[in-house]
Structure 1
Amino acid sequence: MSSPIPINKSVVQISHSTWRLGCTVVCDRIAEPFDTCAAAWKDGEYWYTLRLAASEQPIDLAPVSSQEVRLIHEGGTLSAVWAIGNNAFCKVHHCSSDTTSESETIKFIQKKAPQVPVPEVVYSWVDGDRSFLVLKRVPGITLRDAWGTMSATQQDYILDEIVHVCDILASITSDRLQNVCGGPVLEPYLAHSERDSLEPLDVCESKIYFFREDLHPNPEIEKRFHLYHPDLGPGNILVYNQKLSAIIDWECAGFYPRFWISTKPSVSPGLNFYPPIPGVDEIEWRKRLRIKLEERGYPRFAEWFMEWRRSKSR
């Protein structure tokens, strides 16, 4: 059952140094951590700890304003992010029973591709129809904020680093189009018009799903699907000292057809610079990324995709 509480009210302050994260977890700011806490991390002179609530408590609709734990991002009615002190974030997403949590995806990446920089997971849990994920803060700023300060050489270096990450991920394959745990991929661009996720498909099912007799050429569906982060926008790439420090927001990652790796930057405005950077074409990042990926041999089917997508929405 969906919670009637707005997602941006998922974190509330219950005392000057205590916050409730959902209905089941409590965050304390204290001088020293205790042995029974679920997680703890240092932040200046204090520690932040997570513990299970003694009893499940309903979320208060009137959270107290706080400088230590503060709402910093809202993704409509589906997600919200809080900063916890200076060294951590709490991400809250609406979820369903068949989707893979971002924490599981990050753990998969850390195991299979440890050279890919990802945030450190502090603690994660599911509370009703919401997933909670506490992450350590990664040094750096978003590529969007850094772009205007970078030279052309530095910009190319970041592009090459991201393409290299795509190569590393693509070398990890599956025999099904699916997320890393075998469930649906959260990719609205490929899903049916009324859904955000696409059920797992094997090769034969994928050939049928993506084929359109009136479209030519149709992309080749190979025998293997490739691990890919389909949301490589400049807001999800962190840089420090003009070098890649982390890639964030892994909830959409999964195993995709090879053609999607360079096609997604071609068709997704979500990979634009946002907010726009004065004097910079808002599509510059995704255009240059797409060109680099094509040069690496990833086929692009942007025109085919736009026609295919229109036919799916009829």
Structure 2
Amino acid sequence: MIRFKFSTPDAQTLPTPSIFLFDVHRRFAAALHLFSIEDTVARGWPPQPRVLRQLFFSAWLYIPPWLRLRCYLLLGRFGAWFYGGGIEHTVQRLPFGLVLKRCIRYPSSAQNEPNALRLVERYAPDIPAPRVVDVGESNGETCLLMTHLPGQMLNDVLHLMSYAERDRFADDLANASTAAALFLFCNTLGGPVIDHRIPDGSGGPFRSEAEFNAHLTSHLECLPGDIVGEENVRYDHRSCFTHSDFHCTNLLVDRGRLRGIIDWECAGFLPEYWEFTKAMYSARQHPAELEVERKLWRYTPFGV
């Protein structure tokens, strides 16, 4: 419970609000909020995309690439007018089940996200990720055209989901976290890891987990063992293909089931615990690593 303390320089002309009236307002507000949630739940999940749109998109894939490229700018303008501006003006929904993303947050790794999506499509097609339609360049910026996924952002609907739906969603997300053992810790192109969690937002590629661990505390001029104890630091984790950003805004839900995982620009090959300790969704599978990560978080704010 959050507590507030009211004070006033002049109790005669500027009296403090009545605590009793605040309590009455709190009780009414809580009840009205429950009514609002009940109405939202009663409306149910939004309808699935129409068959006509799906058929149009299938035909769209057969259009020659050069013609699609010429349509992107026009579709982007229409999408901004029809759907509204996109996220941070970098992601814009387009007609016909398409999404256009300008890869400008991490210019040095602009090809990482499309390559990650191609890896998912080829080796893990059951993961509900966007499919790459085309990659082009406009005014020196890499543009990624991909399919639009159904569903709503998890942070918008989590409070509406039943406990059974939450359990199913957790199972879906766990199944989507497939791993493939490799030797390096790097992005999907074999280059530096891009991640908000590590110092300066990037580093590597790393030839061993010892190098990766050392980079996590490189801004402190010490090793992880100096902070959490050498006995708590492991060097034998597998290198696994990882989305690396299971944020609520990157997980799409429909009817209580996982329907999409978006924003793959941080994807790469990282220690097997990374997906879980960073998302803190399934931490029970790596309790020791999570405890080490929590201690390191105190010394390494995201993106520092």
Q: Separation in 2 of the partners of 1:264 and 1:35?
A: 39
In the other structure, the counterpart of 2:224 is 212
Q: Percent of aligned pairs with the same residue?
A: 21
In the other structure, the counterpart of 1:91 is 101
**Runs of 5+ unmatched residues, structure 1:** 1-31, 40-48, 54-58, 267-288
Q: Is the counterpart of residue 230 in structure 1 residue 244 in structure 2? A: yes
Q: 1:298 to 1:173 in 2, by over 3 A?
A: farther
Q: Is the counterpart of residue 176 in structure 1 residue 184 in structure 2? A: yes
Q: Separation in 1 of the partners of 2:77 and 2:110?
A: 32
The size of the alignment, in residue pairs, is 233
Q: 1:139 to 1:229 in 2, by over 3 A?
A: same
**Counterpart selection for 2:122 from 87, 95, 111:** 111
In the other structure, the counterpart of 2:283 is 293
Q: 1:162 to 1:299 in 2, by over 3 A?
A: same
- Alpha-carbon deviation of 1:252? 0.7
Q: Is the counterpart of residue 254 in structure 1 residue 268 in structure 2? A: yes
Q: 1:96 to 1:245 in 2, by over 3 A?
A: same
In the other structure, the counterpart of 2:44 is none
Q: Separation in 2 of the partners of 1:81 and 1:263?
A: 27
The 5-angstrom pairing of residues 260-279 of structure 1 reads 260-266=274-280
- Alpha-carbon deviation of 1:200? 0.8
In the other structure, the counterpart of 2:204 is 199
In the other structure, the counterpart of 2:85 is 72
**Counterpart selection for 1:51 from 66, 69, 88:** 69
- Alpha-carbon deviation of 1:146? 2.5
Q: 1:85 to 1:257 in 2, by over 3 A?
A: same
**SS of structure 1 residue aligned to 2:248:** coil
- The residue type equivalent to 1:247 in the other structure is I
In the other structure, the counterpart of 1:188 is 196
Q: 1:252 to 1:70 in 2, by over 3 A?
A: same
In the other structure, the counterpart of 2:23 is none
Q: Separation in 1 of the partners of 2:63 and 2:147?
A: 20
- Alpha-carbon deviation of 1:52? 4.5
Q: 1:115 to 1:297 in 2, by over 3 A?
A: farther
Give TM-score, length-normalised by structure 2. 0.65
Q: 1:97 to 1:105 in 2, by over 3 A?
A: same
Q: 1:241 to 1:188 in 2, by over 3 A?
A: closer
**Counterpart selection for 2:65 from 38, 54, 58:** 38
**SS of structure 2 residue aligned to 1:107:** helix
- Alpha-carbon deviation of 1:156? 1.4
Give TM-score, length-normalised by structure 1. 0.63
In the other structure, the counterpart of 1:309 is 300
The answer (yes or no) to whether the contact 1:176–1:202 under 8 Å persists in 2 is: yes
Q: Separation in 1 of the partners of 2:181 and 2:226?
A: 30
**SS of structure 2 residue aligned to 1:90:** strand
- Asked which structure has the greater RCO (Cα within 8 Å, sep 6+), the reply is 2
- Alpha-carbon deviation of 1:84? 1.3
- The residue type equivalent to 1:82 in the other structure is Q
Cα RMSD of the aligned pairs, angstroms, is 3.4
**Runs of 5+ unmatched residues, structure 2:** 1-58, 217-222
In the other structure, the counterpart of 1:283 is none
**SS of structure 1 residue aligned to 2:145:** strand
Q: Separation in 1 of the partners of 2:162 and 2:241?
A: 31
- Alpha-carbon deviation of 1:190? 0.8
